[in-house]
Amino acid sequence: MLYQRSSALFEEAYKYIPGGVNSPVRAFKSVGGVPIFMKSAKGAYLTDADDRTYVDYINSWGPAILGHTHPEVLEAVKLQAEKGFSFGAPTELETEIAKFIIENVPNIDQIRMVSSGTEACMSAIRLARGYTGREKIIKFEGCYHGHSDSFLIKAGSGAATFGNPNSPGVTSGTAKDTLLAKYNDIEQVEDLFRHNQGEIAAIIVEPVAGNMGCVLPENNFLQNLRKVCDENGALLIFDEVMTGFRLAFGGAQELYNVKADIVTYGKVIGGGMPVGAFAARNEIMNKLSPRGDVYQAGTLSGNPLAMRAGLTTLQLIKNNPNFYEKLNKTTETLDFEIGKILNAKGIAHKINRKGSMMSVFFHTNRVSNFEEAADSNHSLFNNFFHQLLAQGIYLPPSGYETWFISDAINDVEIDKTLEAVRNFDYSDKVED
């Protein structure tokens, strides 16, 4: 057995932690098998409890854009830790990172730090409702904005109907305030506004979706969302928890030249520490407590360890003029070369890529929304996942997740990955 120690650790964890994990995707339920327990990470590599090493294409689900335990980030965190872990009081450091982000990101004047992407998106929705005096929001099927109640909604019986809860514990009342549309379908969005005139506070969207696999906006989708919001007095919220500082330093707003009203962040801005943030122009952020009447608070918001790790990470990216060029080139190489290998094997597929995010979908030639992502061959992906895992390549354990490429992945890691893909044979069984 390849993962003997991991199997034992999972059996033990299952007794004390629901499902044995603290976040569902880690359980490997989508791909099958036993989740791998990691004990250390450095650069492009993870090391598991059985001392096997893996080229990492999850990178903590995006934050480790520099690779794991970057020496300068590590040293900065060590120095900060010596000064205290948390104060429950303001620090100069919070202002320093806020100023740095605002100076480098388009269309924002103020930013509020929180402790997770879920918290950031939840707070952004509350702020949008408070600012507009409206209650309904639009989200898109397949887009994930964290696990707060407003976002755990599945489609209703028609395009213009309210959504339904897709988790016990989410009330039908909450669901009625969430309207669903198909990603990349602007006509559905326009239809929702026609049926709910003067009631929609905001649209929230992943500008590049990452939770149905990597799915890109098409046919000026983001630009049209901006137009529809302007026409109807609604706010446009960009969930840039994944894309912020990853696709460009100014995120998707910069990349697509679209102004969002509220932007949410996470992942990269914490450098691997738990962190989130939401930002907007002054007139919107001034509604937020303690200045305004929209309440939001957090005991560990602006945590000094997270702020130091995040600021150091952002400074390192900013100070490297070739950072995104190299990162995007690495991802482009993986895209092209994996595609060549799969073509040679006669395996129908579609690789979606934007910047340093990418996904491989099997037995399809187009994925532009959740429905098309669901139609791809997930059992083949599961087999692909396990065969590459056995060869030391760690992919996201679900065909509905994007790969995150780090700056630590170089030619050696690319070659190792491509060799594993060359060895892929979906008729083979994989050792558990």
- Catalytic residue ranges: 144, 239, 267
- Is beta strand 393-394 parallel, antiparallel or unpaired with respect to 53-56? parallel
At position 293, the amino acid (one-letter code) is: D
325 contact partners, CB below 8 Å, separation of at least 6: none
Tokens at 303, concatenated: 């945590």
384 contact partners, CB below 8 Å, separation of at least 6: 360, 362, 395, 424, 426
Residues pairing with 43 in the sheet: 68
Residues pairing with 68 in the sheet: 43
**Measured CA angle at 407 (ends 86, 50), to 5 deg:** 75
Tokens at 46, concatenated: 């993870």
Q: How remote is the C-alpha of 94 from its chain's centroid?
A: 23
- Mapping DSSP to helix (H, G, I), strand (E, B) and coil, where does residue 199 land? coil
Q: Nearest CA to 70 among 326, 303, 309?
A: 309
At position 351, the amino acid (one-letter code) is: I
Side-chain-side CA neighbours of residue 330 (13 Å): 25
H or E stretch at 325: helix 323-344
178: how many CB neighbours lie within 10 A of its CB? Answer: 25
Cβ atoms of 84 and 332 within 8 Å: the answer is: no
Burial 333-349 (b: 16+ CB within 10 A, else e): bbbebbbebbeeeebeb
